[in-house]
Amino acid sequence: MLNPEPKLHAPLGLLAELTHRCPLGCPYCSNPLELDARETELDTETWLRVFKEAAALGVLQTHLSGGEPASRRDLEVIAKSARDAGIYVNLITSGVGIPDARMEKLADAGIDHVQISIQDSEADSADHIAGYRGAYKRKDELARVVRKIGLPLTVNMVVHRANIARISDMVALAIKLGATRIEIAHVQYYGWALKNRAALMPTREQVDRAVEEVNTLRERHKGEIVIDAVVPDYYAKYPKACMGGWARRSLNITPGGRALPCHAAEIIPSLTFWNVREHSLRDIWMNAPSFKAFRGTEWMQEPCRSCERREVDFGGCRCQALLLTGDARATDPVCHLSPHHAELAEMAADRTEQPYDYRRLKAPAPQT
Ligand code: SF4
Ligand code: FES
């Protein structure tokens, strides 16, 4: 029996995309191709209000993200407001553009945890992937400062064809840097990543080896570091429960203030998004049509509609369904029961060697 009136949980997490400005140009970025310009970003006061409303709504944790959140000069004020509201504050940073003294100020302001993305264990390759010479060195330095200050550190490694052979080295690097957790996240193909799919896609054999390697590394480093791994979509049998279910547990705010049920939702043309400039977070969570669109199971088509996993994975990812089938209500083609599942293998087979199309605002692509 479908659940037409799903119980409305409070959101637990808020991804605050403070800005799309970023010194790096990673080709796997999941930000939209149309990035928000600086002039359209929310002002400080609005963010302070958003965090008060978020806490009142039940949000326990926020990820200050971007782009590079430190591109905003008011990051300390924003972080403090979230912490003062009683929210756990995770800073997601490229690691570039935060001088040591600023990291100390950010810790004083109330950052509870830092996540630094590192593109590869080899400096030249890492800099090439990031599209920024010297990025690796700066990340390494910032990680050491974070640990010296005493903040917990997570290293994030986005895995693709150019670095998939060095997962073990990346785990060793994360341990050396004092991280207590590493995220091994295979590329999810939205935004810039979809544009660069052929240049990023690993082979099935590489992915199988990587999955085995992660299992071995987990055993070897038990008690030393937590290894979280996101399974690569295109080679999976079942889809991920994207966002833990649409508008079920978390929400995103874009730099310009649009409230989204997931970071890629703006690609779904049938949806419009309320802005925190005009609506309270509570109003958005309870009433915004875009949040109600795929909440629960009522919207589902077959095979999801009668599937016993429909409240396990919620039919997978709405954005991926739209991108790959043209219908946001379709079963995510990652699912082996989707009529489009076979097409994924064809898409994954296109691994054309080509230069990266680096993520950028309007400026020319960075070079290394
Ligand atoms: Fe999940 Fe739908 Fe596939 Fe069932 S048919 S496993 S609900 S994606
Ligand atoms: Fe939008 Fe998965 S990214 S639902």
Q: What is the ipTM score, two decimals?
A: 0.92
Which of ligand 2's atoms lies nearest the C-alpha of 265? 1
15 lines ligand 2 (CB under 6 A): no
Beta carbons within 10 angstroms of residue 117's beta carbon: 22
Q: What is the pLDDT along the chain (368 residues), one digit of tens a residue?
A: 444 556 788 999 999 999 999 999 999 998 889 899 999 999 999 999 999 999 999 999 999 999 999 999 999 999 999 999 999 999 999 999 999 999 999 999 999 999 999 999 999 999 999 999 999 999 999 999 999 999 999 999 999 999 999 999 999 999 999 999 999 999 999 889 999 999 999 999 999 999 999 999 999 999 999 999 987 888 889 999 999 999 999 999 999 999 999 999 999 999 999 999 999 999 999 999 999 999 999 999 999 999 999 999 999 999 999 999 999 999 999 999 999 999 988 888 899 899 999 998 765 445 55
Measured distance CA(235)–CA(214) in Å, rounded: 16
Region(s) of the chain under CATH 3.20.20.70: 13-230
265 lines ligand 2 (CB under 6 A): yes
Radius of gyration of the chain (CA): 20
Q: Which one of the ligands is nearest to 336 CA?
A: 1
Q: What is the pLDDT of residues 78-120, one digit of tens each?
A: 999 999 999 999 999 999 999 999 999 999 999 999 999 999 9
> Which residue, by CA, sits nearest to atom 7 of ligand 1?
310
Phi-psi region of 342 (alpha: psi -120 to 50; beta: other; left: phi over 0): alpha
List the alpha helices (DSSP H) in 202-340. 204-220, 281-287, 289-292, 318-325
> Which residue, by CA, sits nearest to atom 1 of ligand 2?
319
- Residue for token digits 């958003």? 50
Mutate to test the pocket of ligand 2, among 251, 262, 268, 299 (most ligand atoms within 8 A of CB): 262
193 lines ligand 2 (CB under 6 A): no
Between the CA of 197 and the centroid of ligand 1 the distance, in Å, is 24
Mutate to test the pocket of ligand 1, among 313, 324, 340 (most ligand atoms within 8 A of CB): 313
Q: What is the CATH number assigned to the segment(s) 13-230?
A: 3.20.20.70
- Give 248's contacts (C-beta < 8 A, 6+ positions apart): 6, 9, 295, 314
Q: Name the nearest CA neighbour of 87 among 77, 96, 79.
A: 79
Q: Which one of the ligands is nearest to 324 CA?
A: 2
Residue 118 DSSP one-character state: -
- Give 108's contacts (C-beta < 8 A, 6+ positions apart): 76
